[in-house]
């Protein structure tokens, strides 16, 4: 095993639907390429063999396969694929995305031509240290899930229950979310198997409530804790499209939501209102999703950073970023703009009741556990 320190960087959702995809990474790529391991989430897939199998409320058309060149350009060597849009272009979207990533030598996990392939971990080795990655979709739709004979994504089934706790029929219910036991057992079994063959084990979840600041769904902490109890060293989350707080559990760090990193999409949600109206009887995006976060919240993102020594994560921090008007994430310093992201992360972490606390260390934000929370 190597004695030198290594660095792993992780970002959230990546949508590369616009031409010249490398442009969107131009400001961040020099830093990303300094890391030994870089991982991000492919929110939408890549194919030119369009098959309209839209089952999502807001379907995502496929990206041009040539845009996959942005991944090696920016230094990515692991891409996760388990998400709610994985089946929007059917089998061709999955097949062509997997083929394209392999062509560029990028490891992948979370999707496949059957459930066994989707649950197969991505494993890469750097200087004698083995990094293992698993990825699960927690947000549906059920049509996106892989089966024994159908392409799709790895998943953990989350059950939602609405309980009217007041004597007011038609009033707002309390929402409970629970992890279905069999799919949880399948996930923990995957983690235990991977634990024996890698040094650093990362579990990535597509989870959470979209565009809703601070709040974590009931299942989000238990599923993260279960993954760590089974052997995970780090938890990465995304899907909400805005940042979430951070916590530590048994000395392991949980990034509940990394937010968007690149959102270069030509598919506006507003263009889907007629589709939503037919399916769900809504007249506006706000009626369906609730008020969108303000521009500042949507422009803030972070890069998770882990230092690895002797095959173990020895230090966890984040790099604050702001996404500019051209859609490019810009890595910030310990200055006024960097403090804007720092203050927001501190706020959403405290208000969610999570136990992480943050300190600047140079131009990075060190993550520690606040024992008093």
| More confidently predicted of 234 and 277 | 234
Q: Is residue 218 reached through a cis peptide bond, with omega within 30 degrees of 0 on the bond before it?
A: no
Q: How do residues 237-292 score in pLDDT, each as one tens digit?
A: 999 999 999 999 999 999 999 999 999 987 654 444 444 444 444 454 444 444 44
* 183 neighbors 157 (Cβ within 8 angstroms): yes
CA distance 361 to 275: 48
pLDDT of residue 287: 45
Q: Average per-residue pLDDT in the chain?
A: 91
Distance CA 247, CA 349 (A): 8
Instruction: Report residue 166's pLDDT band, with 50, 70 and 90 as the boundaries.
Output: confident
Judge: domain 6-369, CATH 3.60.21.10. Answer: yes
Residue 372 scores a pLDDT above 60: no
Q: Are 329 and 341 in contact (CB under 8 A)?
A: no
User: Rounded distance, CA 279 to CA 56, Å?
Assistant: 11
Share of the chain above pLDDT 90, in %: 81
In angstroms, how far apart are the furthest CA atoms of the chain? 64
- Average pLDDT estimate for 2-23: 92
What span, in angstroms and rounded, lies between the C-alpha atoms of 72 and 210? 29
Q: Is the pLDDT reported for residue 53 higher than 80? A: no
End-to-end Cα spacing for the chain:
37
Separation of alpha carbons 350 and 84, rounded Å:
29
Q: In terms of Cα–Cα distance, which of 126, 313, 176, 181 is closest to 236?
A: 313
> CA Rg, the chain, in Å?
20
What is the reported pLDDT for 370? Answer: 78
Residue 222, φ and ψ in degrees, nearest 5:
-60, -40
In the chain, domain spans: 6-369
Taking CA 78 as the corner, what is the angle to CA 177 and CA 321, rounded to the nearest 5 degrees? 75
Q: Which of 264, 259, 255, 368 is nearest to 321 (CA)?
A: 259
Exposure of 107 in the CB half-sphere (CA atoms within 13 A): 17
pLDDT of residue 319: 98
Closest C-alpha to 83, from 117, 107, 59, 104: 59
Cα distance between residue 87 and residue 93, in whole Å: 7
Q: How far apart are CA 1 and CA 128, in angstroms?
A: 5
- Per-residue pLDDT, averaged over 89-98, amounts to 95
Question: How far out from the chain centre does Cα 149 lie?
Answer: 26
What pLDDT was estimated at residue 297? Answer: 84
Pick the more confident residue, 284 or 108: 108
Q: What is the pLDDT of residue 271?
A: 43
CA dihedral 273, 276, 280, 283 (to 10 degrees): 0
Structure tokens at 48: 């030119």
Please list the residues that pair with 202 across neighbouring strands: 133, 234
């Amino acid at each position: 095993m190597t004695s030198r320190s290594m660095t792993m960087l992780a970002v959230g959702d990546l949508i590369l639907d616009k031409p010249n995809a490398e442009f969107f990474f131009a400001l961040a790529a020099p830093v990303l390429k300094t890391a030994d391991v870089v991982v991000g989430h492919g929110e939408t897939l890549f194919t030119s063999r369009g098959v309209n199998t839209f089952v999502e409320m807001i379907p995502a058309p496929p990206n041009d396969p040539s845009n996959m060149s942005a991944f090696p350009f920016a230094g990515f060597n692991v891409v996760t694929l388990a998400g709610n849009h994985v089946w929007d272009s059917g089998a061709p979207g999955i097949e062509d995305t997997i083929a394209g990533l392999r062509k560029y030598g990028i490891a992948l996990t979370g999707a496949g031509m059957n459930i066994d392939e989707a649950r197969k971990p991505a494993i890469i080795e750097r200087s004698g240290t083995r990094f293992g990655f698993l990825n699960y979709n927690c947000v549906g739709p059920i049509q996106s899930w892989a089966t024994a004979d159908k392409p799709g994504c790895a998943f953990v089934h989350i059950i939602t229950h609405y309980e009217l706790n007041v004597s007011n029929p038609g009033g707002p219910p309390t929402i409970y979310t629970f992890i279905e036991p069999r799919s949880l057992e399948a996930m923990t079994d995957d983690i235990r198997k991977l634990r024996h063959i890698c040094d650093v084990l990362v579990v990535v979840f597509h989870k959470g409530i979209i565009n809703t600041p601070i709040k974590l769904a009931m299942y989000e902490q238990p599923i993260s804790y279960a993954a760590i109890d089974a052997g995970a060293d780090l938890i990465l989350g995304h899907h909400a499209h805005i940042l979430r707080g951070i916590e530590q559990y048994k000395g392991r760090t949980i990034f509940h939501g990394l937010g968007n990193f690149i959102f270069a999409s030509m598919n506006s949600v507003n263009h889907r209102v007629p589709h939503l109206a037919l399916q769900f009887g809504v007249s506006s995006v706000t009626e369906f999703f609730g008020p969108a976060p303000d521009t500042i919240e949507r422009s803030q993102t972070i890069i998770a950073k882990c230092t690895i020594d002797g095959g173990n994560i020895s230090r966890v921090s984040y790099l604050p970023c702001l996404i500019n008007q051209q859609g490019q994430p810009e890595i910030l310093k310990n200055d006024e703009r960097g403090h804007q992201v720092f203050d927001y992360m501190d706020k959403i972490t405290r208000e969610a009741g999570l136990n992480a606390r943050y300190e600047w260390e140079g131009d990075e934000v060190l993550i520690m556990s606040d024992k008093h929370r």
